[in-house]
Structure 1
Amino acid sequence: MTDNLPRLDHVVLWVRDPLAAADFYENIVGLAPVRLDAFAAGEEPFPSVRVDDGTLLDLMPLTMVKRMTMLPGAADSAGHPVNHICLALPRTAFDALHTRLTEHAVPVSDVSHGSFGARGEATRSLYFRDPDGNVVEIRHYD
């Protein structure tokens, strides 16, 4: 059955090296790569990583900026990172990712409590940057 509720489908993150970005998101953040082999073989223009069954992060190479012609002026905003993306995780996944970030010397913010999001107030959240400087927030709700 098709679910016709509005949902976030994907977010485009501009990256210098999509393979390195995919490695970070797979091995540090824990997101599964999508179309990575096809991208590496030159068969797809960019790879993605899967957030959940219906949401991807597209790892768009900065070399694609010139091809952003879907709307007049679209290329003017291409290549600029969003302020941040936020991934809501179960408590155990939050703790495990926090540990992996620390083990891989990825700088993280202080842990905050009670920040508002899509599901109300989060129990804990923190921020870090991916290798391209995109800011990622992780949080969990209890």
Structure 2
Amino acid sequence: MTHHTARLDHVVLWVADPAAAAGFYERTLGLEPLRLAEFTAGEVAFPSVRLNEETILDLAPHTLAPRMPALPGSAGHPVNHICLALPSEAFDALRARLAEHAVPMTDIGHDSFGARGKAPRTFYFSDPDGNVVEARHYD
């Protein structure tokens, strides 16, 4: 097996309201908002949320698209979904929080293949902007 030194640094999600999106990810996944005050003050173009020590999700407003000439037509470009691997207990806690916030989610699927082999349990939900997130855990 080849071992790569690349790591996932960030994923940019298109959202209607970055502050609201940051709130959603903080409430449901417990992700720490970054640069939210600076975004609200108009000092930076978008906030982010921290997924782990080395990966963040940038929450880019659709209004940013015209200022990204290198990627014409990229606003809303379809990404099928992003997948987050959690410990088993955190997986269960996430389902409970999503239910508490009345966020629709799929039934639990089993033995879905991913970066670390087969995950015994997995499910999908959408954020308020329609970005689809898969949650899974490995043994």
TM over 0.5: yes
Is this contact kept in 2: 1:67–1:75, CA < 8 A? no
Q: Distance in 1 between matches of 2:106 and 2:50?
A: 24
* Alignment match, 1:39: 39
Match of 1:136 in 2: 133
Q: Percent identity?
A: 65
Give the secondary structure class of the aligned counterpart of 1:76. coil
Alignment of 1:87-98 (within 5 A): 87-98=84-95
Q: Deviations over 1:80-107 (max 9, x none)?
A: 2411000000111110000000111100
1:32 corresponds to which letter in structure 2?
Answer: E
- Report whether the alignment pairs 1:66 with 2:66: yes
Letter in 2 for 1:137: E
Equivalent AA in structure 2 for residue 9 of structure 1: D
Gaps of 5+ in 1: none
Match of 2:17 in 1: 17
In structure 1, distance between residues paired with 2:46 and 2:78:
16
Distance in 2 between residues matched to 1:78 and 1:133, nearest whole Å: 13
Give the 4+ runs in structure 1 shifted more than 6 A. none
Q: Is the CA contact (8 Å cut-off) linking 1:84 and 1:134 kept in structure 2? A: yes
Deviation at 1:57, TM superposition (A): 0.6
Aligned residues: 136
Q: Distance in 2 between matches of 1:80 and 1:134?
A: 11
Structure 2 unaligned runs (5+)?
none
**SS class of match (1:108):** coil
How far is 1:77 from its partner?
Answer: 2.3
What is the RMSD of the two structures over their aligned residues, measured on CA atoms? Answer: 1.2
